[in-house]
Amino acid sequence: MQTKLWRLTNKNLPEELAEAAELIKAGQLVAFPTETVYGLGANGLDGEACKKIFAAKGRPVDNPLILHISKIEEIYPLTSGLTDHAKKLAAAFWPGPMTLIVHKSALIPEVVTAGLDTVAVRMPSNKVANTLIALSGCPIAAPSANKSGRPSPTRAEDVLADMDGNIAGVIDGGACDIGVESTIVDTTEKVATILRPGGITLEMLQKVLG
């Protein structure tokens, strides 16, 4: 397959991202920049599309995906209910480099959560990511856009080095600001727990939750 490359001028993002959003809607894979690293995106409500992520990355199927949303209220159809600390953390740190583990709803395909009854959700602050999600009209499932075992890409060239010819397209939005993964916080129990350290620190979380 020929991998498309969109070099953004950022003059008219909705127009520049329209073709990429159509490909996401059509069940294809598109890599895009976020503030942490480049993600390899697919329609997060389309199980067949999400399976392509695992194939392209060589990712073990027992490693669940993070769903990316563009507005806080988009989490509600994805979850069977949020704890108070989930609501507080979302209000404090979204959009930004924090992923929340929440109880999943029946909408989420099995392949996204690797069979778990919880799902990982994040709202990125990167404008390109945010606009792409909004235009696609669905949550975008996206792990880092590298082959499994290789470093997470922070530039479009890094993505192409691993994925050229295997995915529908790459959106070149320049280098990522943060360059480290999102902090993952499990909010499904009484006490919130950090599952993976990242862009948001323990101290920042403690300030909000007390």
Q: Which residues from 94-113 bind ligand AMP, rule CB under 6 A?
A: 101, 113
What is the C-alpha to C-alpha distance for residues 132 and 93, in angstroms, rounded to an integer? 20
DSSP 68-109: E-SSGGGGGGGEEE--HHHHHHHHHH-SSSEEEEEEE-TTS-
Judged by CB under 6 A, the residue of 5, 92, 116, 209 near ligand AMP is 116
Residue 13 to residues 3, 32, 125, 177, 191, Cα–Cα distance (Å): 20, 13, 15, 18, 40
What is the C-alpha to C-alpha distance for residues 156 and 162, in angstroms, rounded to an integer? 10
Stretch that binds ligand AMP, among 1-9, 10-18, 68-76, 117-125 (CB under 6 A): 117-125
What the block records as the tokens of 179 is 């360059």
3-state secondary structure of 164: coil
Task: Encode burial over 146-180: b for 16+ CB neighbours within 10 A, e otherwise.
Answer: beeeeebbbbbebbbebbeeebbbbbbbeebebee
The residue type at 195: L
What the block records as the tokens of 15 is 């127009």
Pairing of strands 98-104, 183-186: parallel
Binding mask 22-61 vs ligand AMP (x if CB under 6 A, - otherwise)? ----------------------------------------
Binding mask 119-158 vs ligand AMP (x if CB under 6 A, - otherwise)? xx----------------------xx--------------
The residue type at 190: K
Judged by CB under 6 A, the residue of 33, 41, 44, 64 near ligand AMP is 64
Judged by CB under 5 A, the residue of 83, 144, 183, 188 near Mg ion is 144
Would you count residue 8 as binding ligand AMP (CB under 6 A)? no
Residue 173 interacting entry, from Mg ion, ligand AMP, none, C-beta within 5 to 8 Å by type: none
CB closer to ligand AMP, 22 vs 179: 179
Residue 61 interacting entry, from Mg ion, ligand AMP, none, C-beta within 5 to 8 Å by type: none
Residue 198 interacting entry, from Mg ion, ligand AMP, none, C-beta within 5 to 8 Å by type: none
Would you count residue 63 as binding ligand AMP (CB under 6 A)? yes
Q: Which residues bind ligand AMP (CB under 6 A)?
A: 63-64, 66, 101, 113, 116, 118-120, 143-144, 181, 184, 195
Q: Which residues bind Mg ion (CB under 5 A)?
A: 143-144
